[in-house]
Every structure is written in C-alpha cells, then in structure tokens.
Amino acid sequence: MREINVTEITNQIKEMCIEGNHYLSSDMKEALYSAYEKEESVIGKQVLGQLKENLDIASKDMIPICQDTGMAVIFIKVGQEVHFIGGSLEEAINEGVRQGYTEGYLRKSVVKDPIYRENTKDNTPAVIHYEITTGDKVEITFAPKGFGSENMSRVFMLKPADGIEGVKEAIITAVKDAGPNACPPMVIGVGIGGTFEKCALLSKKALTRSFNEEAKEEYIRDLEKEMLEKINSLGIGPGGLGGTQTAFKVNIETYPTHIAGLPVAINICCHVNRHVHRTI
C-alpha cells in the first residue's frame, strides 16, 4: 500500500491547469506547423500564421492561448494499491482547479445550474472520470474543454446494418455541421461501440491520445487516415475561411457493444486541443 496525501493531487492539478492553458503539447504544435506548410489557400495560411504567432505570445507573455480556458475535464487513473490520506480526493481535485484558475488568471466559465446559470466564480466543479487500475501509481490527464467545439459534438445511435459506411457518414456530418464554429483546424475524437455514455467518453478520451500514438487495430488506423483525407477535402479550411487544412487528426477508439447497436460519438476539439499528463 502506498500512501499519497491528497494535497499532492491539489498541487499537481493546479500546475496542470496553468501549464495546459499556456503551452500546447509538442505533437499539437508540430501539427500546427506542418498544417501551415501544407495549406494551399492564401487566407488559410494567413490564419495558421496567426495561430503560430498566438502560441508564441501565449507562452512568452503568459496569456492563455484561448480566452475560453474551458471546463476542467480530468481523467484520473488510480492504482488499487494507492491509499489516499489527508481528505477527500474529489475535493482535492476541485481545490486544484480552483487554485489553478484563480492564481493562473484563467477564465471562470462554469455556471452552477444549467438553467439558472449563476457563475461559480472559480471554474469548479471539474468533470472527473475515475478509473481503477493495478499498481501503486496515479495517472492524471487534465484536458480543459472549450465549448465552441464542444457544442458541435454529436452522438449517433446507428444500427448494426449501417456498418462502417454509417460511421463514416456520421463523422462527416458532424464535421460539416461544425464548420467554422468549432475553430478549425480541428481534432476529431471518435468513440465507436459500448453504450450511449461509453462511446461519448471514448470520444473525449480519443482527443487526449498523442498524435504519435497509433490505434491498435489496423482497420481503425486506415479509417482514421481515410476520414482525415475526406475531412480535409471538404474545403472548410483554417477558421472556416477555405483551405485544405480542416483537421489535424482523427483519433478513433472502440469498445465492444451490444448485438442490437452501433453507437458513435464525435467529440470535436478546436486547434487548441489542450491536454497535460502526469504520473504520481
């Protein structure tokens, strides 16, 4: 049994909130630079040039990359040999978000009630996904999610007969509808299988997968490649102003599902696809 004081979790989350909103991971940065080289439209290239400059300013002057510093989504994988001491884990996570968003000059974008909409003023609560695993480590992923792109995300409960063609159509429909609203170039997280909520969770998780990490199944790798090509031939382009660079990457995750169903979720992320991983 390994003891971890929850204040350690608070401190790590606080740092991750600040880091994630000012610096993009190297794979995302490389994707932006490579899109800039590849973009054929003049206005598209200009937009990508602005986005490159924006990243430099954000890290140099400590101004958040985007003013929508998101709702804090946290994936926490806890080894079953870990024993947390010093208080509630959930409260420790939210305290980290509270401190990170307050001390880091990040925007407070969370309202207490979806109908009455009073701002909680410290960006809590976070959306927390717990997972229990073997071992004595704690793995945390902080992925703040802006709502320009979140609002364009979709779940389709397809029929088994719709097959892979149905999945492709669902992805293209979601991306087309998102268009300029989701701040392209986008990253497309897709979850296929499971249940209604499982495929949505898979699609969110897919967004946090490193661009250098490949899908396990060959047909999924092929599908990712095919979808990326199709999306980039839609003409939406950077900022929705036309061009060949509409998406950086399509990441697909799958899970076993029911004999009667084919759930598909498409979680769209803007070009500021933020995620920070740490292991304690």
Partner 1 sequence: MEKHISAPLSNDTIQNLHSGDYVYITGTIYTARDAAHKRMYEALENGNKLPISLENQIIYYMGPSPAREGRPIGSAGPTTSSRMDKYAPSLLDLGLKGMIGKGKRNQAVIDSIKKNQAVYFAAVGGAGALLSKCIKSSEVVAYDDLGTEAIRKLEVENFPVIVIIDSEGNDLYQTVMQK
Chain positions contacting partner 1, by CB under 8 A = 43, 46-47, 50-51, 53-55, 57-58, 61-69, 105-109, 117, 119, 121, 146, 148, 151, 179-181, 183, 235-237, 239-242, 270-272
Please name the residues in contact with 46: beta carbons below 8 A apart, sequence gap of 6 or more.
none
Q: How far is the CB of 159 from partner 1 (least distance, A)?
A: 30
Q: How far is the CB of 157 from partner 1 (least distance, A)?
A: 25
Please name the residues in contact with 161: beta carbons below 8 A apart, sequence gap of 6 or more.
none
Among 22, 16, 3, 7, residue whose Cα is nearest residue 95: 7
Q: How far is the CB of 84 from partner 1 (least distance, A)?
A: 32
Q: Whole-angstrom Cα distance, residue 21 to residue 7?
A: 22
Integer angstrom CA distances of residue 6 from 9, 12, 82, 116, 174? 5, 10, 11, 32, 40
Q: For partner 1, give the closer residue by CB, 109 or 245.
A: 109
Q: For partner 1, give the closer residue by CB, 104 or 263.
A: 104
Please name the residues in contact with 219: beta carbons below 8 A apart, sequence gap of 6 or more.
none
Q: For partner 1, give the closer residue by CB, 191 or 243.
A: 243
Residue type, 155: V
Q: For partner 1, give the closer residue by CB, 42 or 132.
A: 42
Q: Whole-angstrom Cα distance, residue 122 to residue 249?
A: 32
Q: How far is the CB of 114 from partner 1 (least distance, A)?
A: 13
Q: How far is the CB of 257 from partner 1 (least distance, A)?
A: 32
Q: For partner 1, give the closer residue by CB, 5 or 67.
A: 67
- 8 DSSP 8-state letter: H
Calculate the CA 242 to chain-centre distance.
Answer: 24
Q: Which residue has the tokens 């926490």?
A: 76
Q: Whole-angstrom Cα distance, residue 220 to residue 269?
A: 20
Q: How far is the CB of 238 from partner 1 (least distance, A)?
A: 8
Q: Whole-angstrom Cα distance, residue 56 to residue 48?
A: 13
Q: For partner 1, give the closer residue by CB, 160 or 235.
A: 235
